[in-house]
Chain A
């Protein structure tokens, strides 16, 4: 079989459906990566238009262009869109597109999940844009502090759009993060050790784990606040035992890691592009990996620096101030390693490199002002002024947007298969970068002169006029520059001439394929022995196209790739991917109905759509696996492997592990919130703690024992015992809730209800999982091919048992001890 016939055969297997239908049924990461990037760019444009409205309003004092009601919606939505609908999804898009290619595999771990996440993002984002167009957008600032964002300050539907829409969008972040983690750990080219991964994969891994542990506090906060708004559960109302500060903790527990979740992918792109632009290899690979990991860890220790002015005790301030300055160290390690790389090589001044220089100039200033505001006394003065606005734009635009434009220009030949041809990009560069500094450099000063952020207009005579008119004009120059970048990209994509395969002379596997990429990426999978396979073997792309790697034989007629051992990269088993399907888009549409029902208070819609989602999920799962084991199949290069269907740790098991990491963080945040209210909130203790007696304790213990035993027996009988045990645990909810019939009385009662609801949900999920496993066995699937599914169910039910025991302790102990 020659290369062309192999290409045709593989394309038939991997291609998306033709025409319009293909957009909705594709599960291919190349398609979905592009779609993510496109939609994120659309949101960037919308957010940018809002920014221009803000600058138009602030250009002159006493402006009558926008009133406070519109202005408040506009700045709230500007921040919200840029953070949640542009930055994070743009990273997801880039990672979805690039990771399998860089890692030398054919798709992400869970193709249908990619599609599901994408559609959740599109539907959730559309909800937010609808609110904006209808003039009922959130207006409490992008960090939505209650009580202002709760029913007291915002009785309308505005805040609900934020809480429900953003939570909906977060599904896409969580699913992308699970997928990236499993892909980086298990889906690499054979032989690629962890220490030989492209540096971008390391950054993506750290970022994904941070999303899994950083987003759950926000999701919890949003759910609690929506429960308060919709049903009066008083988590943030001080009179009934709530506390407004609880939200601030949950929000910034997410919000600070979020900043690094945005910066790290950009740093990954820089670490990839910069050495190529300097015609050398990256300096200090190990140091940079260590720096990225420590940034990820440290970023969870400094959320309080957003709350220096909320009355935190001085010792606490000192600790978090130290942590906040400490985070500059791993950042400095990366910056100087990059400069060292430039010194090592022969740096060029191609367009991507220009944007990286803009990154250096901007981000270093943003980092330095960041150290300034980490110093508490200075923060007390600068907090909530334009100094902060300027600082955060330096960090986010300098640390994310500029490197992402560098990435755009660097990978554009890959996206389009064409040479970048026109010089429009250079003009755009010289408009955007000076425009940016013209906008934000002087605004530092306005902040120091006392200009508060978020005021809709100001009086003349405070020395702010000149600064603001310069900022507005520069802002418009910058916007024109961004528009030129977009035009440049479109023009290049449409009319530029065909280019060579590896125009920059890079060494990573993403350039070891013809561009634009074929849907299967690699005609056969490479055996990797070094960090830059293309430097080691420039002929590699040709040999892969000839089918000299793994899985070069399309004869089995299905979408196959390999998974590897985490550390060594030794090939482990064959994964068979699902084909094109409309199930993800259907399931996300029904998920959307669930959120819509919550939003418009059509509560009858909520259980119906929850049922719909469950049915979709069952359909989804049922299609996996096969009734009887296959024998070991040849994968090329003399090797034979089993398929994942017979593995004890199939991809779904790994996905569950990381989904449970996010889930556990969610539960941990709930425990944190409970402890916070218990110890800090003013109106505690509540009138009475629950004393439900012995019945629930007996039910939980008996159910836990039964489930634990059943899940370890491994026969159909055991698979029948486990859900019964979970049902017993669920039964404990009744006597507990009857003791606390009204969750609106006190934050304590409200918390009990959330604990119980969370436990009930997990019992239900566990029962469903065990039922699926049992039905599979009864319908004739062999024990070998249900082993993986059973271990997934056991993982979930073990987690549920842990939750049940912790919940019982958290609810029961205060009543017993007092």
Chain B
């Protein structure tokens, strides 16, 4: 709820739209029900309730919503861009290991370094059970499935530390299955790639 990157930003905006729409529909339905006690009984047209309210109304709302969702979804896709950074995330019970295309051989434990202001593709996999990769303030989540590699696009607007979580229940150590994302400024990122940051 405190978005710090474009993906989380879009999703947060989506949520407020969804909430407003849902609240309006709920109040509408509640009012319709309350009115049943307020009006004299009598013949009520079936078509009005079933066809207009039951069929036409939700179809219109849902079509609009779906289109909106798909557009947002498109924006979250990991598409090719020139300044793309690629990292790997490998989950195990109950640790995370991260590798970097720009610094081959470099492995960090429970600490993911990324550059701020640039899109980062995280290639997520697992060596044992199913895990989930989630940095709530930067993007949605994606599962780490043994034998499969899933690609998630994340981006941090500004340098800082962001909490990351294992987000698929994975046994006794689930609660503390976390990691930290450190978003560097351009200089800090270069320093990290040179191996100067621990």
Contact = CB atoms under 8 A, between A and B. Distances in A.
Nearest to B175: A455
A339 B140 CA distance: 38
Interface stretch (B113-121, B143-151, B181-189): B143-151
Interface stretch (B14-22, B102-110, B190-198): B14-22
A287 B48 CA distance: 13
Contact of B141 (A140, A326, A345, A384): A384
A364 B1 contact: no
Interface residues of B, number: 70
Interface in B119-174: 128-130, 132, 136, 139-143, 145-148, 150-151, 163, 165, 167-174
A337 B76 CA distance: 39
Contacts of A342: 33, 36
B80 interface: no
Interface stretch (A367-375, A475-483, A494-502, A571-579): A367-375
Interface string A311-334: 100100110011001101100111
Interface string A277-306: 010100110010001000000000000000
A381 interface: yes
Contacts of B39: 343
B61 to A, nearest CB: 9
Given A329-B55, A340-B46, A364 B141 contact: no
Residue from A140, A280, A344 with most neighbouring chain B CB atoms (10 Å): A344
Contacts of B139: 380
A342 B33 CA distance: 8
B81 interface: no
B50 A68 contact: no
B20 to A, nearest CB: 11
Interface string B55-75: 101110010011011101100
Interface size range on A against B: 35 or more
Nearest to A454: B169
A309 B140 contact: yes
B77 to A, nearest CB: 6
Contacts of A682: 147-148
Interface stretch (A146-154, A526-534, A651-659, A693-701): A146-154
Contacts of A457: 175
A377 interface: yes
Contacts of B58: 328-329, 332
Nearest to A682: B147
Given A72-B171, A339-B36, A346-B41, A377 B69 contact: yes
Interface stretch (A38-46, A209-217, A237-245, A504-512): A237-245
Contacts of A627: none
Given A147-B130, A375-B65, A377-B76, A357 B46 contact: no
Contacts, number: 231
A69 B173 CA distance: 10
Contact of A681 (B14, B22, B44, B147): B147
A335 B129 contact: no
A66 to B, nearest CB: 12
Given A321-B69, A329-B62, A381-B141, A152 B128 contact: yes
Contact of B49 (A141, A284, A375): A284
A672 interface: no
Contact of B44 (A283, A369, A380): A283
Contacts of B172: 68-69, 72
A434 to B, nearest CB: 16
B11 interface: yes
A683 B146 CA distance: 11
A322 B169 CA distance: 27
B53 interface: yes
Interface stretch (A445-453, A602-610, A640-648): A445-453
Contacts of B168: 145, 309, 384
A384 B167 contact: yes
Contact of B53 (A332, A368, A384): A332
A147 B146 CA distance: 9
Given A347-B37, A375-B66, A336 B25 contact: no
Contact of B128 (A153, A326, A377): A153
A749 interface: no
A194 interface: no
A578 B46 CA distance: 46
A258 interface: no
B84 interface: no
A361 interface: yes
A718 to B, nearest CB: 51
Contact of A148 (B33, B41, B49, B169): B169
B62 A328 contact: yes
Contacts of A384: 132, 141, 167-169
Contacts of A148: 129-130, 169-171
A533 B42 CA distance: 23
Contacts of B174: 68, 452, 454-456
A449 B37 CA distance: 39
Contacts of B43: 344
A357 B37 CA distance: 12
B95 to A, nearest CB: 15
B140 A380 contact: yes
Given A147-B128, A377-B11, A365 B146 contact: no
B29 A335 contact: yes
B148 A378 contact: no
A497 to B, nearest CB: 30
A780 B165 CA distance: 73
A310 interface: yes
Contact of A365 (B26, B44, B73): B26
Contacts of B148: 245, 311, 682
A340 B175 contact: no
Contact of B55 (A245, A333, A380): A333
Given A368-B25, A378-B11, A339 B129 contact: no
A380 B124 CA distance: 15
The 7 closest A-B pairs by CB, nearest first: A380-B140, A238-B147, A340-B49, A311-B150, A333-B54, A342-B36, A375-B69
22 contacts: A147-B129, A148-B130, A153-B171, A244-B145, A283-B49, A284-B46, A284-B50, A309-B142, A334-B54, A340-B50, A342-B36, A344-B41, A364-B25, A369-B22, A377-B69, A378-B11, A378-B14, A380-B139, A381-B15, A381-B136, A381-B140, A456-B175
Given A340-B48, A369-B22, A384-B167, 17 more contacts: A145-B168, A147-B129, A147-B146, A148-B129, A148-B170, A153-B170, A244-B147, A309-B168, A321-B73, A325-B65, A328-B62, A334-B54, A337-B46, A340-B44, A343-B36, A365-B26, A375-B72
